[in-house]
Structure 1
Amino acid sequence: MVKTSGIWLLRRRIMLEDHPLYTIMHPRSVAIVGASNDFSKMGTIQLINLVAGSYPGKIYPIHPKEEMVFGLKAYRSGRELPEPVDLAILTIPTSAVPAVLKDLGERGVKRAIVISGGFKEVGERGKELETEILSIARQYGIRFLGPNCIGVIHPSFHLNPTMYPYLHQFGGVGIASQSGTYVTQILPYLAKLQIGFSQAFSVGNGADLDLVDCLEYLAEDPETKAIAVYIEGIKRPRDFIQAASKASRAKPVVALYVGGTEAGSRSAASHTGSISGPDHLYDALFRQAGVIRAGTVEDLFEWAGALSLQPIPKGRNMAILTHSGGPASSLADACNRRGLKVPLFSERLQARIKELLPSTGSFRNPVDLTFFMDMGVMMEKLPRIILEDPEI
C-alpha cells in the first residue's frame, strides 16, 4: 500500500512539473523587459519587488539603453541574454511586444508573462496584435500568461514580480483571476484576515494560458488547499467544466462571476475583452462542475481561506457546538437550507455529552452549553467526543 501511494504521488509530481505553468512559477532565471533605473516605471517596480522578496534565481534586466539597472548588468535585447531564461516578463509599450517576443523566441525562451495592455480589450487593432503575438508564441513554442495582466506570485518560492509587495505569510489559497487587482491590491485586506496565497495567477486576456490551465495546475499543486477563481467570462466552457470538476473532487473551488448583468458584461468586455454569458447559465455550469459560487469579493476570499484550513467533510451530517441558543438555531437553519443535515446524536453520544454540560445545556445537536466557563470542555473535550462519532 505504501509503495502504491508513493508511485501515485510521483506520477502527480511528474504531471505537475510537465504543466506549462510549473516553470512560470518555479523559474531559475527571470528576464524583465522594461526594467530601468526610473522608479516610476512598472518594470522597475517589478524588478525591485523580485529582488526585495529574496528571489533565489538569476535576474536579467532588458533595456535598449541602460548598461546597468540597480547594480545588475542590463541587456539590450532578448537575443543578447547569456542564457535562455526560464521566464521573461514583458512590461513595455504594446507595439513593441511582437518584436520583443520574437527576439526571446530566437534566444530559446519558452515561458513568458505579457503585462502590457492594449490588446483585444481596446478593439479591432488590439485584437490583431493579440493574434500576432499568439502566432509568434506558437512559432517558437512559447507559452505565456496575459497580455493585459499583473503577473504571478509564489510566496514560498520568493517569486513576486508584480507591482505590489507580498508581506504576510503564505497559505493554502490558490487564486486564478482575470483581474490583477485580486492578486495584488487585495493583499493588505488578505493580510488583515491572515489569508495567504499558495500560488496566484493574473491571466488578463488569457490569449494563451487561461483560467482552465490555472485550474488544472492548482488542482495538482500540493501547496494549494482551496482554489479561488475570479471570472469575467469563460472562453472554453467545456474545458472549464472538465477542469473544475476534476479540481473540485480534490479540493474546494470557489468562484466569483461578474459578467451576468448588463453593466458587468460591458465592463468585462472593456477590461479583458471577455465575452460574458447570462447568470443562470453560469449557475448551471458551476453546479455541474462542483464549484461554490460566491456573491462578493469578500465571500470569494473568506470562503476559500476558511476552506483551505479545513478538511473536506466526508458527508452531509453536521454537528453544531455553541454556548448560545440563537447561534445554534441560526446555524442549524443555515445548514438545512444548504442541503446539510443536523441529525440527532445517538443516545450513547448524548449521554457522553450530557455528563460534561451544566443542567441548563442542550446535548442532542445542536449542543448549547449556555453560560459555561470551562473552555477546556468547549474547545477540547466536546469537539473530540463529537468528532469521534462515525455519523458526524
Structure 2
Amino acid sequence: MKFVDEATIEVIAGKGGNGVASFRREKFIPKGGPDGGDGGRGGSIFAVADRNVNTLVDFRYARLHRAKNGENGRGSDQYGAAAPDITLRVPVGTTIFDAETGEQLFDLDHHNQKVTLAAGGQGGLGNLHFKSSINRAPRQCTPGQEGEQRKLRLELKVLADVGLLGLPNAGKSTLISKVSNARPKIADYPFTTLHPNLGVVRTSPSHSFVIADIPGLIEGASEGAGLGHLFLRHLSRTRVLLHLVDVSSLDPDTDPVERAAADARAIVEELRLYDPALYEKPRWLVLNKLDMVADPAAVKERLCAALNWTGPVFGISALTGEGTQDLIWKLQEWLDAEKAKSHVEQDKADGTYVAEDPRFDDTRSNSES
C-alpha cells in the first residue's frame, strides 16, 4: 500500500430538518390544537483514531465527506428522523488542522480517540412548542440549523519511541531489520527508503519499544533537498534519536573520520534549521559499519573528539549484528526510566503522587537483616 502522510479534505455536516406548523383535524374534534413536530438533527462527521489504519491514502481519493440532512417534522406530533452520522477512521498519530487558518484542532494520539469534525445542525421547532394560554393556535415554526462546514488538513506523525537519523546508506534500514520485526527494502544505493518504516523491538516478554526509520537526510534537507525533509515530522513524537554515522569509506583518498564528522555536523544543522524542538531532543551517537574499520576503538575516539561529543556513543555493525544487543538493552533501560519519570510528574500534576515510605523498602530491610 502506498504510504501517504498528508491529505486535505472537506467535511460538510447535515442541515437540521425544519419544524412544521400543523393543527389536529379530526371528526368531532373541531379545536384539536397544534400538533406540528420538530425537524430531525442533521448528520455529524466524526474522526476516530484506529491502530489498524496506517496511512491517509483513502483521503487522497475521497476528499469530500457530506452528511445527510435531518427529516422535516410532520403533523400528528411526528418528529423528523435524525440523519446518520459519518465516522472517518484515521491512523493513530494523525493531527488535524484547519486548512484555511492553519490552526491545530485535534491530535489523535491514542487508539479509539474520537473527535467531532463537523456538528450537524439542530432540527427546527414545530408549532406545538409555541402553544400557550394566550396563543392557543400558534402558527410559528422554526427552520433547521445549518450544519458545520470545514476544510481540514490531515497530517500523520507516526508514534515511535526511538527515531533513526542519518544520511542515505548510513545503515538505518539494515539496523531496524536486524533488531525488530520490520522488513524494509535494503540495497546498496541511496534513498532505498522512500517512506517511514516502523518496527517493534522486543527485549523481553513484557518489554518492548517502537523504532522508526525515515528516508535519509542530506545537506539542504530543511530547504526541501532530498526526501527526508518530507518525513522529519515523524521524529517529533519520539523520545530519543539515534544518529547513525557511517565510519567506513569507499574512497581511499578520504579520511573516514573526517568525512563522518562532517556528515554528522551537517545532519545536526539540518535538524536545527527544520525544528529547534527536534534539535533539542535527546540524541545518541551510533557509529555503524565498524566491521569495515581496522581499528574501531581509535576511530570511535577520534570521531568523538572531532565532534566534541559528550553524550552516549555506541559502536555497532548493523550488518553482522555486533553491538546491537547492547544498544537495544540500553535503549530499553533508558525508555523505562523516562516513562517512569513522566508518570511521576503526571501524578504530581494531578495531585495523586504518594512518596515511597522507606519503612516498606524491601531492599533496605533485607540488607539490614
TM-score (norm 2): 0.29
Which of the pair is proportionally richer in strand? 2
Query: Which one has a larger percent helix, Structure 1 or Structure 2?
Result: 1
